[in-house]
Amino acid sequence: MDANGTRYHLLLGREDWARCRQVAAPSEPVSPLLGELWAGQEKDEPLPSAPRLAWDAETAELTLQPRLFLFLAAQNDVAPTVDDRRGAGRDRYGNTYWVGEDRRSLRVQSSGSGTISVFWPMEPPVAQTPSRGGFGPVNPPTPPPPPLLGGLTVTAHHYLVVGTVEPAGLLVFDLHAGGPPSRILWPDGLAAPFDLAPTRDGGVLLLDRTNRCFWRLDASFHPVRTGGDLLVEQEREDTFQPADGRALRKNPARTFPEGVSLEASSPLAAVDPISIESLADGRVLVLDRGETDSRVLLYRDGAPQGSPVPLVVSGILAQGHPTPLHLVGHDFAFIPDERELAPKRDPGPEEELRSLGRLYVVSAQGNQTLCFRVEERRTDPGQLLLTPLTEYLPMRLFGGKALVASGDRLFYDFPEGFIPLVAQRRPRYEREAVLRTPILDGRTPDCVWHRLFLDACIPPGTSVQVRSRATQERSEVESTAWSLEPVPYLRSDGSELPWVESSTGEHRGTWELLFQHARGQYLQLELTLRGPGNTSPRLHALRAYYPRFSYAERYLPAIYRQGPDAANFLERFLANMEGFFTTLEDRLAAVQVLFDARSAPAETLDWLADWYGLVLDPAWDETRRRLLLRHALDFYQWRGTPRGLRMALRLALDDCPDESIFQEDEPPRSPLRIVEHFRAARLPVRAPATDSLPSGIRTVVPRTRWEPSQGGAQLADRYGEAQAEAGLSPTPQRVPFPLRAPTDKGTAALWDTFSRAVLGFVPSATDAEVTWWREFLTRRYRHIGALNAAWSTSHPALSQVPLPTTLPEDGPALVDWYHFESVVLPMRRAAHRFSVVLPVPKGGTAEQYRERLEQARRVVSLEKPAHTVFDVKFYWAMFRVGEARLGVDTLVDLGSRAPELMTAMVLGRGYLAESYLAASHPGDVADRHILGRDRLAAPPTPGRDLR
């Protein structure tokens, strides 16, 4: 409702637009609901009519039905044949391998240089002709020819696996360790590899086209058992049963797993299986090629699931192409849905379909790849649903070798090597579609409908035509004639709704028209969307306002409304002014929106920050700005404290900032650390300030660490013994312990080592710290009389007590010096200093690291107390020796070099001690089986014969 009490009907979201009807063509009997058409299209059910409008879930907009553009082959194009198929695969570093044209060699395209070379077999060394009088073989042996190859893939554990047809078996190349391949032989005639595919657990799927079956090999390249268990003993009732008969006791059946047989392959109910792929959950897809069409078969544990799904494209083909299109596939590749790879979660009640991923099928003509969305119903798992998509994927000069999936990208062979398969921006749409809204109720008789607003994008060449009809009775709406309304125009000041962020983009915004003929309680609208075929109008929301607030009725005398024509013109003329002023009145009425960080428009956030005295960082996104404004009071409450610094740093550096930034529990468990130097300082064990030395003769037990209670004489004796042991004095003798470093280098080194071992610190007070010394004495003794009484001195004032240059006499003076050197000086030197240690960003470059450091420094310099000094650096774990407190600044469970907190060291891109060295290959790679390190089945041998 606006400031004048005018309401509106709203169509927003898929459910609202689904209640509209698509106007039937002359050849169609009914006008179906859009929701029925969309649901039937998604479930691959027969439709009452072809859908001409589509819902774009990514942008939440209604568009003309997208069409699939088919690439038309030229007259001289030669379609690839099944005999042109070669195995191909791509490793984790981007190198592509495939079987050569002679079917007896392997080629590789390097990811770095892009050069193509022979990967295997390597050229044998040229035999040297022996010189005259020398020795050499009369008939040098000829190396055996390479086997005939068929099928190739790269496993998840980084093995290159190639099938051999003559003799049947596999060649396994360790891409980490290198070297010659391991050879696995199969019994003759048992398996003829045609296509290979990797599985997520490191295994391999092997398709035998000749025998129409497939094999599953585990990560050790052993056949996986697909049979059941052997029944040893039937289930039977126990002889002894409870007397009350409440429960029946049974002895369960005993079974024994059947062994793995090389003949236990999975047979295929297929005409001509030519390609195989693995789903994320371990199930198997097989492409069955027929003469007129192809089918996709689904298998789990060697048993078929559901019915074969034909590859038929209908309902989305562009004009001029036959429909339906029965696709004959040459090869296919599967890319799983990211949600299938993520940790499992419980589906919502509205998620009837489970998305498995996308299937890309190369047509038999070899000039285009068609994309299908692969789904299954949660109520009927095992039955695949293939929905064709409108992605345009042309292929130029495809050689027919293979379509390779690597991560979320596709590659196909171009005359010499492999190039990416990229979707081309060549959209096609239905040219015209008409929809009718549900009947809208104006709630008052003889209602004058006011305006129509469309949040839409209407590019040049497209149009949206609006017709309306209104009556007093709902039953008469269908029989009322349509009236053409004006063409909508794009508002220059954005949406009419107060303080709503305007849509951005060319030809995108709020389009408006003033109803000319809509008068009656019940209204129905008809929208005609038109386009040239390569673009479409896009409707996001529709708002129909009612009733009209009449300036002529409210503010002008009745004489201005006497003539029907003049009154009608004046009414519509003043409605233009009413629309302008109502927009301003609505903004004034909703001004409270500007004072809430959750609802304020993005352009007003800087103005709202001025109320708090904040200046928002221009580099921050909208989420960070709103989050800071919502918690400005919490931020000011903790400003200048370690917790406040963590708030500011997390707000600036976190990838996804949330409410937890301002709800920090103690002790903090954030990976970002504020280390206050005075709290991490290493202090020796000291005696309390009230200690007093007993008078008279006493027995002193020597200790490793000297304390004032032992007396200065013992410290001098131990220092003399240390000098004698070091050869600086001929005999041990009492030498006064100096409080300043000696000038001789040898003696200074001994003095430093002795101080650390015996005192626990190195005396470091200089004349510059005399002020700290006097402040320390003032806090301890309060007045000069107490000090003179304790020290047996006659100093005139505390401000004139000198800093000791020699070891004081035993008693309070010695204790005071000891406490000042061991406690006060380290604390004062570390006070007002702190370090900010940041986790190393994942996968960053040296430039990104520097930017992150500079950003952190800028934030800390703005938020720190003015008298403090800081530094910012990265860290590789939760604990830095000497700079963190165990149990406060540490997380024990992440280890000393947690990989998730940093990246591998790359020469020229990382910092020493702030990254970890990547694992060498192959001995310490933990995510794969290593031939020669892990015991797979038998000791490593040059080959393995399964016959």
Q: What's the pLDDT tens digit per position in 625-681?
A: 999 999 998 888 888 888 889 889 989 888 888 888 888 655 456 678 888 877 765
Query: Which pLDDT score, from 0 to 100, does residue 75 have?
Result: 63
Query: Which pLDDT score, from 0 to 100, does residue 267 have?
Result: 84
Phi, psi of 386 (to 5 degrees): -110, 115
Phi, psi of 724 (to 5 degrees): -65, -40
Query: Which pLDDT score, from 0 to 100, does residue 494 have?
Result: 84
Find the mean pLDDT for residues 842-858.
80
- Do residues 406 and 474 share a domain? no
**One-character DSSP codes across 875-917:** ESSS--TTTS-TTTS--GGG-SS-GGGS-B--TTTS-TTSSBP
Contact 708, 821 (CB under 8 A): no
Q: How far is CA 198 from CA 110, 326, 334, 406, in A?
A: 21, 28, 11, 11
Q: For residue 558, tell me if it sits in a domain.
A: no
pLDDT band at 942 (very low <50, low <70, confident <90, very high): very low
Q: For residue 130, tell me if it sits in a domain.
A: no
Q: What is the pLDDT of residues 352-376, one digit of tens each?
A: 788 899 999 999 989 999 999 999 9
Q: What CATH number is given to the structural domain containing 864?
A: 3.30.429
- Do residues 338 and 462 share a domain? no
Q: Comparing 180-184, 385-389, 491-495, 547-551, which segment has the lowest mean pLDDT?
A: 547-551
Segments in 654-693 forming alpha helices (H): 677-680
Find the mean pLDDT for residues 146-165.
92
pLDDT band at 902 (very low <50, low <70, confident <90, very high): very low
Find the mean pLDDT for residues 574-587.
78
pLDDT of residue 943 exceeding 70? no
pLDDT of residue 888 exceeding 60? no
Query: Which pLDDT score, from 0 to 100, does residue 228 have?
Result: 55
pLDDT band at 71 (very low <50, low <70, confident <90, very high): confident
Contact 898, 877 (CB under 8 A): yes
- Do residues 722 and 790 share a domain? yes
- Do residues 218 and 100 share a domain? yes
- Do residues 197 and 323 share a domain? yes
List the one residue out of 400, 517, 538 whose CA is nearest residue 456: 538
- Do residues 842 and 826 share a domain? no
pLDDT band at 905 (very low <50, low <70, confident <90, very high): low
Query: Which pLDDT score, from 0 to 100, does residue 687 have?
Result: 42
Query: Which pLDDT score, from 0 to 100, does residue 562 have?
Result: 72
Q: For residue 798, tell me if it sits in a domain.
A: yes
**One-character DSSP codes across 470-504:** EESSGGGSTTSPPEEPPPPEE-TT--SSTTPPPP-
The more confident residue out of 812 and 695 is 812
Rg (CA), the chain: 42
Find the mean pLDDT for residues 428-445.
92
pLDDT band at 131 (very low <50, low <70, confident <90, very high): low
pLDDT band at 684 (very low <50, low <70, confident <90, very high): very low
Q: For residue 335, tell me if it sits in a domain.
A: yes
Asked whether the whole model's pTM tops 0.85, one would answer no
Residue with tokens 């369960």: 252
Query: Which pLDDT score, from 0 to 100, does residue 379 have?
Result: 83
pLDDT of residue 475 exceeding 80? yes
pLDDT band at 885 (very low <50, low <70, confident <90, very high): low
pLDDT of residue 891 exceeding 70? no
- Do residues 851 and 893 share a domain? yes
Burial 732-744 (b: 16+ CB within 10 A, else e): eeebebbbeeeee
Q: For residue 455, tell me if it sits in a domain.
A: yes
Q: What is the pLDDT of residues 509-535, one digit of tens each?
A: 999 999 988 999 999 999 999 999 889
Sequence-separated (6 or more) residues with CB below 8 Å from residue 426: 69, 392, 534
Query: Which pLDDT score, from 0 to 100, does residue 618 have?
Result: 85
pLDDT band at 898 (very low <50, low <70, confident <90, very high): very low
Q: What CATH number is given to the structural domain containing 289?
A: 2.120.10.30
Q: For residue 922, tell me if it sits in a domain.
A: no
- Distance CA(266)–CA(808), nearest Å, equals 93
Cis peptide bond upstream of 66, omega within 30: no
Query: Which pLDDT score, from 0 to 100, does residue 349 have?
Result: 47
Contact 69, 392 (CB under 8 A): yes
Query: Which pLDDT score, from 0 to 100, does residue 498 have?
Result: 80
- Do residues 407 and 462 share a domain? no
The more confident residue out of 890 and 235 is 235
Averaging pLDDT over each range in 80-84, 95-99, 317-321, which range is the top one? 95-99
pLDDT band at 688 (very low <50, low <70, confident <90, very high): very low
Final residue before a domain boundary, out of 365, 393, 420 = 420
pLDDT of residue 162 exceeding 90? yes
Q: How far is CA 784 from CA 131, 773, 807, 817, 852, in A?
A: 106, 14, 21, 17, 54
- Do residues 438 and 406 share a domain? no
Element (H, E) at 385: strand 380-388
Q: What CATH number is given to the structural domain containing 26?
A: 2.60.120.260
Query: Which pLDDT score, from 0 to 100, does residue 674 have?
Result: 83
pLDDT of residue 696 exceeding 90? no
Final residue before a domain boundary, out of 830, 853, 881 = 830
Find the mean pLDDT for residues 614-619.
85
- Do residues 36 and 95 share a domain? no
Query: Which pLDDT score, from 0 to 100, does residue 550 have?
Result: 74
pLDDT of residue 893 exceeding 50? no
The more confident residue out of 296 and 888 is 296
State the DSSP code for 33. B
Average predicted confidence (pLDDT) for the chain: 82
Query: Which pLDDT score, from 0 to 100, does residue 483 have?
Result: 94
pLDDT band at 133 (very low <50, low <70, confident <90, very high): low
- Do residues 377 and 440 share a domain? no
* Segments forming the whole domain that contains residue 842: 833-901
pLDDT of residue 874 exceeding 90? no
Query: Which pLDDT score, from 0 to 100, does residue 495 have?
Result: 85
Q: For residue 679, tell me if it sits in a domain.
A: no
pLDDT of residue 473 exceeding 90? yes
- Distance CA(160)–CA(99), nearest Å, equals 12
pLDDT band at 26 (very low <50, low <70, confident <90, very high): low
Find the mean pLDDT for residues 757-784.
90
- Do residues 843 and 793 share a domain? no
Q: Which residues pair with 463 in a beta bridge?
A: 530
Final residue before a domain boundary, out of 420, 455, 484 = 420
pLDDT of residue 390 exceeding 90? no
Q: For residue 250, tell me if it sits in a domain.
A: no
| Number of domains within the chain | 5
